[in-house]
């Protein structure tokens, strides 16, 4: 089993009660520049605190700040959705260079499955789908939508003239 570094344990416990800390304060506590050689320590300490429900946001070039409940909404929804959109967009740009004619049937099947999953992920994180979900939530007075209800939403295709 992985044994934790005493330095990281000490930093984790030092950060636990704080609402905010500048990089200079953290560096003084650690004894070296936290933004350079010891950057990994802050990352690991933050990961450990997240397991206990303590979340920090990075205040760029300044330090870290304890996340509020509103910040947690952004961290748990908006931020991952944006990341998925970027990943899907990048993969779609790469897939046009795949020569499917040269693939074996097994690899072609794997490609088709992956492509379908990425298309679905892109569609599910699109602004149009989020708008449709918001309308459904309004209809149901804010009750959570199940996957079965989500699948029955009208598709986001352009209507043919």
Q: Which residue has the tokens 């998925």?
A: 84
Domain that holds residue 58: 6-66
Q: Is residue 12 part of a domain?
A: yes
Regarding whether 77 and 57 lie in a shared domain, the answer is: no
Judge whether 131 lies within some domain.
yes
Is this structure's pTM higher than 0.75?
no
| Same domain (yes/no): 58, 102 | no
| Structure-token pair, residue 47 | 């990961």
Residue 136 C-beta-side C-alpha neighbours within 13 Å: 18
Total domain count for the chain?
2
* Residue 136, C-beta contacts closer than 8 angstroms, at least 6 positions apart: 145, 149, 153
Q: How far apart are CA 152 and CA 63, in angstroms?
A: 45
Does residue 121 fall inside a structural domain?
A: yes
Least confident among 1-15, 61-75, 145-159: 145-159
| Average pLDDT for the chain | 88
Mean pLDDT for the stretch of residues 141-149: 77
44 shares its domain with 103: no
* pLDDT per position as a tens digit, 30-53: 998 888 888 899 999 999 999 999
Number of alpha carbons in the 13 Å side-chain half-sphere of residue 64:
22
């Amino acid at each position: 089993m992985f044994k934790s570094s005493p330095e990281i344990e000490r930093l984790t416990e030092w950060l636990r009660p704080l609402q905010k800390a500048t990089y200079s304060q953290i560096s003084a506590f650690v004894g070296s520049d936290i933004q350079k050689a010891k950057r990994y320590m802050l990352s690991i300490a933050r990961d450990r605190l997240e397991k206990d429900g303590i979340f920090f946001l990075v205040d760029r070039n300044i330090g870290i700040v304890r996340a509020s409940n509103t910040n947690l909404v952004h961290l748990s929804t908006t931020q991952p959705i944006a990341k998925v959109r970027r990943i899907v967009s990048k993969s779609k740009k790469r897939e046009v260079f795949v020569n499917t004619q040269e693939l074996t049937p097994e690899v072609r099947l794997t490609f088709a499955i992956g492509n379908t999953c990425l298309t679905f992920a892109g569609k599910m994180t699109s602004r149009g789908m989020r708008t449709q979900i918001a309308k459904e939530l309004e209809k149901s007075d804010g009750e959570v939508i199940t996957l079965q209800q989500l699948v029955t939403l009208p598709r986001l295709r352009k209507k043919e003239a």
